[in-house]
Amino acid sequence: MGILYRLFTHYLYAAAKTAPVDKNPSRPHCPRHSTCDMAAARTMACLSVASLARPFSSRVSSASCRAAAVAGGQRASLMGASQPRWYLATSSSTALQRRRSNRGFLTVDAKKKGFAELLSDIVPKDEDYNGRPRLEKGKVSAKQHVPNSIAKPPYADSGHLPPMNEEPQIHDAEGEEKMRAAGLLAAQVLDYAEQIIKPGITTDFIDQKVHKMIVDAGAYPSPLNYGGFPKSVCTSLNECICHGIPDTTELREGDIINVDVTVFLNGYHGDTSRTIRVGEVTDEVARLVDVTERSLAEAIKICKPGTPVRKIGATIHAIADEAGFGVVEKFVGHGVGKEFHSGPTVRHHRNNDPGVLVKGQTFTIEPMLTIGRTHDKMWRDGWTAVTADGKWTAQCEHTLLITDDGVEILTASPLKKTERFPAKQATAA
């Protein structure tokens, strides 16, 4: 390793010494200077190779794990952030300085200006998938207004998140009816979103229309200001796994987009999503969307009182394996009801988690399958997670209620009424 280290150091030092100064303002620069001079480039080259010998990711991981443990480990899986967003939202200035200190030495900045970036002209880059360029962040408009007359969840005004409840949410008869109402509205909004989707519209346009429909129905769009999330719906396009922020990005023919709708109605959340095709898509992409929906449908069929929660992940994983698709492990399903997120943690891959489903319980299953690898990259907005290899991904989600002998899909589409996701109660197999 010592010889390899010296060779790489010498090679990168020589390459950086002759490299021109990067004056492109769109690229990240050295944190202490307006432009990265030769000395900085040489330093980063050496540091990047040093990181191969002594990886600094373990430091980041341990710090992230401690932060996640403080805030609630299950919510870390829900959001998938290396430094949980809800932790930052409630941090004091001292805590924020401490976070910056943790990042300051060979973490984010060093990695982004290190080995991969300095050799970007030497090492071939991954080709764009389906002829579509990799996603780039567009312009995000201001948050939309919600009338004061509409009941809001606790985080709506502050952006702070309530303490994580690891217990499942179990409802009486009245609570079940309110969950049905919230689930139905969420399903209707998602149907409407699918109807307006076409090439040329922006994801921000989807957010505007969805927001208006939810507010007009007397409900609150649950994602809005949840831990500071700036929009009323999540729009995840092509290689975006989840939590995409609506912006000025335009849809193109052949794209796929997951629209994730959650409404807060009469004190209860209804949560649903599906991946929608924008015009005609390739056979491979069509199969990805179909298998994702089928994996969710088969997982729903096994749900009933007494079903081990871990069996859900095993069912989804088996279908994905058979079809040759990957299963994203970083993001999970969750309990939903009076609280947006709670226990149980519903993993979509094979696992050994404890716990069984019980009557009156409401929760989501929301598998995310990928054409390529399942590793993700988190954008600097702290929300948008995209596949590291740029291959496309699909997701489908429903809110479910465990009944006496089976399961009811509370967010089944009233328009589609498919056999996979019937609008009425489905009996467990």
pLDDT at position 246: 98
CB contact at 8 A, 285 and 325: no
What single string gives the DSSP state of each residue in 177-204?
Answer: HHHHHHHHHHHHHHHHHHHH--TT-BHH
Alpha helices in 54-172 (DSSP H): 57-71, 73-79, 85-89, 93-104, 108-112, 115-118
Q: Is 277 helix (H, G, I), strand (E, B) or coil?
A: strand
CA dist 289 and 150 (Å) reads: 35
Name the DSSP class of 308. Answer: B
Name, in order, each residue with C-beta under 8 angstroms of 413's C-beta and a sequence gap of 6 or more: 187, 190, 191, 421, 423
Per-residue pLDDT of the chain (429 residues; tens, 9 = 90+): 544 444 444 544 454 444 444 444 443 444 333 334 444 444 343 334 333 333 333 333 444 444 334 334 444 455 554 433 333 333 344 444 443 333 332 223 334 445 444 444 443 455 688 888 999 999 999 999 999 999 999 999 999 988 889 999 999 999 999 999 999 999 999 999 999 999 999 999 999 999 999 999 999 999 999 999 999 999 999 999 999 999 999 999 999 999 999 999 999 999 999 999 999 999 999 999 999 999 999 999 999 999 999 999 999 999 999 999 999 999 999 999 999 999 999 999 999 999 999 999 999 999 999 999 999 999 999 999 999 999 999 999 999 999 999 999 999 999 886 667 776 544 333
Placement of tokens 């898509």 in the chain: 281
CB atoms within 10 A of CB 125: 10
Separation between Cα atoms, residue 341 and residue 163, nearest integer Å:
10
Domains of the chain: 2-54+91-122 (no CATH), 130-427 (3.90.230.10)
**Under a CB-based contact definition with an 8 Å cutoff, are residues 392 and 128 in contact?**
no
The pTM of this model reads 0.73
Pairwise CA distance, residues 271 & 342, whole Å: 13
> Which pLDDT value is given to residue 418?
67
How many other CB atoms sit within 10 Å of the CB of residue 38?
13
Using an 8 Å Cβ cutoff, are 325 and 371 in contact?
yes
**DSSP annotation of 135:** P
Alpha-carbon distance of 268 to 175, in angstroms, equals 8
How far, in whole angstroms, is CA 89 from its chain's centroid? 18
Angle between helix axes 57-71 and 93-104 (nearest 10 degrees) is 160
Strands (E) in 267-392, as ranges, are 268-277, 326-327, 333-335, 342-346, 361-365, 368-370, 376-378, 385-387
Q: Residue 420, Cβ neighbours under 10 Å: how many?
A: 17
Rounded Cα gap, residues 103 and 108, in angstroms: 6
Q: From CA 421, how far away is CA 404, in angstroms rounded?
A: 19
d(CA 364, CA 375): 23
- Rounded to the nearest 5°, which phi and psi values hold at 226? -75, 105
Q: Which residue intervals of 229-309 are DSSP H helices?
A: 283-301
Q: Which secondary structure element, helix H or strand E, spans residue 321, and what is its range? A: helix 310-323
Dihedral sign (CA 398, 401, 402, 408):
negative
Is the CB of residue 330 less than 8 Å from the CB of residue 77?
Answer: yes
For the chain, the straight-line distance linking the first and the last C-alpha, in angstroms and rounded, comes to 56
CB atoms near residue 302 (< 10 Å): 17
Helix 283-301 / helix 310-323 crossing angle, nearest 10 deg = 150
Tallying the residues shown for the chain, one arrives at 429
Q: Confirm if 420 and 282 have CB atoms less than 8 A apart.
A: no
Structure token digits, residue 48: 């990047």
